[in-house]
Structure 1
Amino acid sequence: MMEKKLYHKHAFKSRDYSETYFSDKPDMVFGDDTLKFPMTNFHYVFSSGFIKGDVMIDISLGPLIHHLYAACDVFKNIIILKLNESCNMETSRWANTRTGAYNWNHTSAHAAKLEGKSAQIEDKEEQLKTAISHIVSCDFDNENVTHPVVLPLADCITSLWILDVTSKNKDDYMRNLEKMSKLLRPGGHLILVSALNISYFMVGADSIHCFKSDESFVKNALHKLGFVIDYCAMQKRKNTSKLTDYEAFMFITACKTK
């Protein structure tokens, strides 16, 4: 059996990850789940107006930015945290419009379409790049995950799949979720996208470890840490591929009450 690698401990091929699960290539079968599902729900919650503030922190798997288009309509100070150096570099390359940056144009086009502004794709990208104030390395092994940097408490935290790949077991998941919660002010919102009943995903020849959890576990974990869930959406898997074994994706917004 192939030994699984840990996303935050071992080398991670961030460009291969993006190409495999988030590109606009004809043979990329995950688009409904990895692109459209989160983007549609982020657009819904941010356009609804119940999530507001100044500072937003994103802690997501890989060099992903497509979920942040809707956020930059609300937050003008977005801080991105990365647990993996290659993802930090890849995200910085895009944010600073450097040569060789990954092309996310297909996602900015979809974001503009969701807003009914299909002709303003370049404007959408520039708006997001302007809103990204810092890209910071972080480590969940530290009590302050951004040590030695101390961040302001966020009004909102967004996180795609990071708890799935950084947690070996239930205790790990709770510790990592609690550390994430400490970055959020009371009354602020956590937006969590989780893969349910997943144990791995492939990036090139590497099998990446994932913690297998279900809807009940994730919701109970949030409740235990004082979160009240105010929106939840589910999408059952719509593709067939041996590259990963998730059963569904779950999108949750939850308010921190204490």
Structure 2
Amino acid sequence: MFLEKIVQVRREKVRQAKNKIPFWEMRKMAEEQVSHRLPLSLRQALLRENAKGKVGVIAEIKKASPSKGVLREQLDPEEVAQVYAKSGAAAISVLTEEDYFLGSPEYLKAVRAVVSLPILRKDFILDPYQIYEAKVLGADAVLLITSLLASVELKEMIKITEGLGMEALVEAHSLEEVEKALTAGARLIGINNRDLRTFATNIDVSLKLAPVLKEAGVVMVSESGIRSKEDIKALMTAGYHGILIGEALVRAPDPGKALEVLLA
């Protein structure tokens, strides 16, 4: 299965990274960053948009995907990030996975230098090392995928993330995963409309799980497969505070214009 393969590849990449910069050194660098730069709150950025009657958009910088291949041949992360910021994005998501999404940790560092919005590190995070690395790169939040982590690992990673002044966007795809996220202490939950095993997307996944999230009082984000203003309206009506959009924007000739149209 693809998911098992990507996990295997990511574990190997983390092992290689630790050989270059040891765990203790990365942790020390991350802890030093805590006092150097005040983090920007992803949750608050989404809620600020809601206060204006809008949905908070986390606009994603993604060069490729395993299901669709290369989405944008010439991708300048800094340029796209600035366009997103000018076009109404509440936050920026940066794919840092190199092998299947053609992302890079360097993209995140470059984006941090040009925008003052919260930045989410989007990756397959399997080891606390990647959280410390995210802090060093300039991330304000990290994606934690419930299906890839044992309950005890998820809880520990949320704790590490928050201890560094960052926030965890905890991703779930089912009721069982939502309950696992809540038990681990998640305060920001993203429902992935894409089944990571089949790649099929359906926003009904978010709509069906909305009542559970609302009852829990968490900040709610819907991810993947959001393509129209109708989709956004349905998600807002269901109680979602934010949406994560990547493919629909990066495939557009003008990503900024595409974002403006969705938000109009």
For the aligned pair, the TM-score class normalised by the smaller chain equals 0.3 to 0.5
Flag the structure with higher helix content: 2
Q: TM-score, normalised by structure 1?
A: 0.37
Q: TM-score, normalised by structure 2?
A: 0.37
Flag the structure with higher strand content: 1
